Structure 1
């Protein structure tokens, strides 16, 4: 099984067009080592021939063009088989519109996410005016075969973050995905958004080989401290890396071969290759994803 990080940043990318934080300035000016990054999306395949996306970011066209394995060899027979959504956030779903040239598109999403995208902002109605969309309902706890030796199980990731769309504007629906290579039994977990690592979430991490985990903010007060937002990381629906109860503290001792932070906000100092925060994360055995990071989950 091969997992490719197409985009490693949170919404807005790095640099973000309206931001002059230290990381965004470093990329623009070249004053410190900091790579540009596109918005969060992951591609996964069991055979290097059929591929599935976890989320479709607004940068999806450029991400696919930078990934030869996901491009057609001839004609328009694309290796891309479908898209799995973790939630209804625009930075995870807006790229669906950029896939409108497809002959058809298979979309895996929970009923709540599908309803949000189908009604309030009419994203799916717009997409379906260009290509047929086949919706496959994601039901947490059910094993789903994707074909060619790849399957997934979705699981609930509790959040208090309120949905911007939908009929009631209540807390949104977020899921993580545990992918399994059916030939080897080895698994990779994609968890690009997590507010709390509950017992149920932790159970899905058990004996996985690769973990792609939400790394939005390094510290809980990161955005308010920089004067860029009033909400903390947790209030925005993202567990910070550091501090009591942070993901570093909770996950450092888990025996997972590859623990990789994705969905990195432009304010996160770990994006700076020479920062003390970056050194601390790596010292604890975690990696910081870049666009194009690949992980081979071997038998």
Structure 2
């Protein structure tokens, strides 16, 4: 299968419009080697003709235009077959509204995510006034065919992050996906948001050929240290990369062919290509996603 990283940054992109942190200053001025990034989204295909989108970022229009395989081949057509949501966060779902010109839109989401998109953010209620929306309920630990040799199995990712809408259901607020090419059994795990690598989540990584994993913050107190927020990375639902229980120590020893950090916050120093944090990542066999990165698994 083919993977295309459409966007590799966390919410707000890189640089973030209202931020003057060292990373954002560097990408604006060119003072250090780094590149701009749009907000996190990934496209997957088994044949390079039909594509499935994992999360629809607010940058989806320019991401589609930047990737010829996602452009229409005739009037009002699209190679995009469905959108699979990992959660209901705005940086992962606002792009649904930008797909409103579609005749119909197939959306895979857990009941918890679907409820938030309808009754919390009301994105689906708005979208339904423009096109037909077909909701496919995501049921964890169930194999679901996507067509053209692909299937997925979703798994619950426990989180204690603050629910923004009082009616949000606890189970299924955050989801990871194992996508399998049935022709060769090769599997990709997409996990852009994870608070802890619990034994259950860790087991989902077994035997995968490619792991796309949460790289939001380098350190747990990153935003506090920079004076930008009062909450830790974990409190916001993200496992930091560094530290004795961080993702780098936990994931770098795993025998996975491609281990790639994405959903990277603008404050994370791994975005600076000459930083010691970036060198540490690469020396331990991990990669940093960039917009436009394409991988064949």
TM-score (norm 2): 0.98
**In the superposition, relative to structure 1, how do residues 218 and 65 fare at CA in structure 2: closer, same or farther (>3 Å)?**
same
What residue in structure 2 maps to residue 265 of structure 1?
265
> Is structure 2 residue 247 aligned with structure 1 residue 284?
no
Question: Within the alignment, does 1:4 sit opposite 2:4 as a pair?
Answer: yes
**Alpha-carbon shift at residue 120 of structure 1 (Å):** 2.3
2:196–2:239 contact (8 Å) kept in structure 1: yes
The answer on whether the counterparts of 1:281 and 1:287 sit within 8 Å (CA) in structure 2 is yes
Residues 10 and 216 of structure 1 are in contact (CA less than 8 Å); yes or no, is this contact kept in structure 2? yes
Alignment of 1:172-211 (within 5 A): 173-211=173-211
CA-to-partner distance for each residue in 1:119-167, whole Å, 9 max, x for gaps?
A: 1221101001000000000001000000000000000111001221251
Q: Which residue of the partner structure matches residue 242 of structure 1?
A: 242
TM-score (norm 1): 0.97
- Measure how far apart 1:170 and its partner are: 5.9
Residue 23 of structure 2 contacts residue 266 of structure 2 at CA under 8 Å; is this kept in 1?
Answer: yes
Structure 1 residue 232 and structure 2 residue 197: aligned?
no
Aligned partners of 2:93, 2:159: CA distance in 1, in Å?
Answer: 18
The 8 Å contact of residues 119 and 166 in structure 1, kept in 2 or not, is answered as no
The secondary structure found in structure 2 opposite 1:119 is helix
Partner of residue 39, structure 1: 39
CA contact (8 A) 1:162 1:170 kept: no
Query: Aligned to 2:201, what secondary structure does the other structure show?
Result: helix
CA shift for structure 1 position 168: 5.0
- Give 1:200 shift: 1.1
- For residues 172 and 230 of structure 1, do their structure 2 counterparts lie closer, same or farther at Cα, with a shift above 3 Å needed? farther
CA RMSD of aligned residues (A): 1.1
CA distance in structure 2 between the aligned counterparts of 1:287 and 1:165, rounded to whole angstroms: 35
Question: Is the CA contact (8 Å cut-off) linking 1:163 and 1:172 kept in structure 2?
Answer: no
Greater alpha carbon shift after TM alignment, 159-168 vs 247-256: 159-168
> Structure 1 residue 2: deviation in Å?
0.4
